[in-house]
């Protein structure tokens, strides 16, 4: 359990490390009056992936059940 919590914490810290420059650039852009949409889209994608990673980590059956069913249907490939 400790390893799972530590890996989740490292994921959050890595995400914050990636996203933090986007927020500092926003502050600078507000001062100069120039706001670009691309950093916001990147931040939205990163936040979506983090939420997806957390949900899959907490509820793995949502991914495992359809995957096992699909692999069961492909048993003829053996």
Question: Tens-digit pLDDT profile for the chain (78 aa)?
Answer: 788 888 888 888 888 888 787 777 666 655 665 556 667 777 788 888 888 888 888 888 888 888 888 877 766 665
pTM of this structure: 0.44
Question: In total, how many domains does the chain have?
Answer: 1
Q: Which tokens is 35 given?
A: 């706001």
Please, are residues 62 and 55 in contact by the beta-carbon 8 Å criterion?
Answer: yes
* pLDDT for the residue numbered 77: 63
Q: What crossing angle do the helices spanning 2-32 and 38-58 adopt, rounded to 10°? A: 170
- Closest by alpha carbon to 42, among 22, 13, 16, 12? 22
Cα(78)–Cα(76) distance, integer angstroms: 5
- Look-up of token digits 């939205």: 44
Domain containing 6 equals 2-77
């Amino acid at each position: 359990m400790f390893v799972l919590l530590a890996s989740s914490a490292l994921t959050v810290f890595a995400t914050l490390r990636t996203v933090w420059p986007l927020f500092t650039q926003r502050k600078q852009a507000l001062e100069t009056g120039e706001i670009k949409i691309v950093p916001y889209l990147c931040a939205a994608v990163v936040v979506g992936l983090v939420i997806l990673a957390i949900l899959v980590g907490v509820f793995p059956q949502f991914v495992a059940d359809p995957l096992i069913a699909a692999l069961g249907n492909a048993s003829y490939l053996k």
